[in-house]
């Protein structure tokens, strides 16, 4: 898959300090948006099983539609991958990036009361984990979350236990989780910030939209996440697409079914922009 800068948007490559290193950011915005603008700001976290991937994947993900069709500003960080730094390295860098977005909202041209988080696959898992972390630590207030076919559960589910579909399967899933969690002690419970399916309290998390394919390893854990949010009184919606394997929307962008799913995603985002804000403390 090639990642090519799309036309009609402006892209900036920045770096921000985060502890012992700098985090590279790809900032994608509509042309003309900047200081003085007030548009939604989206932190988008790339997929890759926590072990691979790069922020330039944003160009091929659903996030680019939020820029070109909805006028949002998207920030995608090059978080540390698990072969170099396992959990909690990536999560803490995502937190630092979100704090930076809040503190630099004016110069980015975004609303600090409409900061949203999204991502696909492992990025969706980081999205859910970050929402939990910010809530529990009274950090940045997130208006909306979009964890697409998210990687949430380090334990097997009915759909991930014996999955041999394209792109992502049981074997790869097991390998990725072992790599990401390898610094945890064997007898240590896996925290929800590492595997969000371990969460017990879902109340007060941000409203959510996601979609998932029925061939996905992450099919069951995605539905379970949405069900848990709804049970806690959090507005949450999911679209399930028959015949979709993992990340099909990125691998087959011109397929009519994928185009329909992409349009639905944009529709849901626009609804969220009209409905949800989260003023900062």
Strands (E) across the chain are located at 9-18, 21-30, 39-45, 73-77, 110-120, 144-148, 208-213, 236-241
Q: Which residues contact 240 (CB under 8 A, 6 or more apart)?
A: 211, 212, 213, 214, 219, 223
Among 15-24, 81-90, 133-142, the least confident range: 15-24
Q: Phi, psi (5° rounding) for residue 163?
A: -105, 130
Strands (E) across 57-189 are located at 73-77, 110-120, 144-148
Q: Which of 218, 92, 91 is nearest to 151 (CA)?
A: 218
- The average pLDDT across 37-44 equals 97
Instruction: For 160-170, write each residue's pLDDT tens digit.
Output: 999 999 999 99
Q: Phi, psi (5° rounding) for residue 109?
A: 80, 25
Q: Which of 42, 215, 32, 226 is nearest to 123 (CA)?
A: 42
Of 186 and 238, the one with more pLDDT = 238
Element (H, E) at 93: helix 89-103
pLDDT attached to residue 4: 72
Please, what are the domains in the chain? Answer: 9-275 (3.40.50.1820)
pLDDT attached to residue 2: 59
- The average pLDDT across 151-160 equals 98
pLDDT attached to residue 1: 52
- The average pLDDT across 58-74 equals 97
Asked if the model's pLDDT at residue 65 lies above 60, the reply is yes
Instruction: For 95-144, write each residue's pLDDT tens digit.
Output: 999 999 999 999 999 999 999 999 999 999 999 999 999 999 999 999 99
Of 8 and 111, the one with more pLDDT = 111
Asked if the model's pLDDT at residue 81 lies above 80, the reply is yes
Sheet containing 110-120: order of strands? 9-18, 21-30, 73-77, 39-45, 110-120, 144-148, 208-213, 236-241
Indicate the average pLDDT of the chain. 96
Cα dihedral angle (131, 229, 262, 48), rounded to 10 degrees?
50
Counting beta carbons within 10 angstroms of the beta carbon of residue 242, is it exposed (0 to 12), middle (13 to 18) or buried (19 or more)?
exposed
3-class DSSP assignment, residue 275: helix
pLDDT attached to residue 8: 81
Asked whether 246 and 168 are in contact (CB, 8 A), the reply is yes
pLDDT attached to residue 62: 97
Strands (E) across 101-251 are located at 110-120, 144-148, 208-213, 236-241
């Amino acid at each position: 898959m090639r990642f090519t800068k799309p036309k009609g948007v402006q892209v900036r490559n920045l770096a921000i300090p985060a502890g012992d290193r700098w985090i590279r950011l790809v900032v994608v915005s509509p042309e003309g948006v900047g200081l003085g603008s007030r548009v939604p700001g989206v932190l988008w976290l790339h997929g890759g099983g926590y072990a691979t991937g790069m922020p330039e994947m944003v160009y091929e993900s659903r996030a680019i539609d939020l820029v070109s069709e909805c006028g949002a500003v998207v920030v995608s960080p090059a978080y540390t991958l698990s072969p170099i730094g396992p959990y909690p390295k990536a999560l803490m860098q995502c937190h630092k990036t979100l704090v930076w977005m809040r503190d630099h909202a004016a110069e980015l041209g975004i609303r600090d009361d409409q900061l949203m988080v999204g991502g696909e696959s492992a990025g969706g898992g980081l999205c859910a984990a970050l929402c939990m972390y910010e809530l529990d630590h009274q950090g940045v207030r997130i208006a909306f979350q979009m964890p697409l076919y998210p990687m949430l559960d380090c334990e097997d589910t009915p759909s991930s236990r014996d999955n041999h579909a394209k792109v992502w399967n049981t074997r790869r899933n097991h390998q990725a989780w072992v790599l990401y969690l390898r610094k945890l002690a064997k007898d240590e419970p896996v925290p929800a910030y590492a595997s969000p399916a371990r969460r017990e309290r879902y109340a007060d998390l941000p409203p959510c939209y996601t979609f998932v394919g029925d061939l996905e390893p992450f099919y069951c854990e995605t539905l379970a996440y949405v069900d848990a949010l709804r049970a806690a009184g959090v507005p949450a919606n999911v679209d399930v697409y028959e015949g979709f394997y993992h990340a099909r929307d990125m691998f087959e962008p011109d397929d009519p079914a994928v185009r329909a799913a992409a349009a639905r995603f944009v529709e849901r985002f626009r609804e969220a922009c009209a409905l949800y804000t989260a003023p900062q403390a």
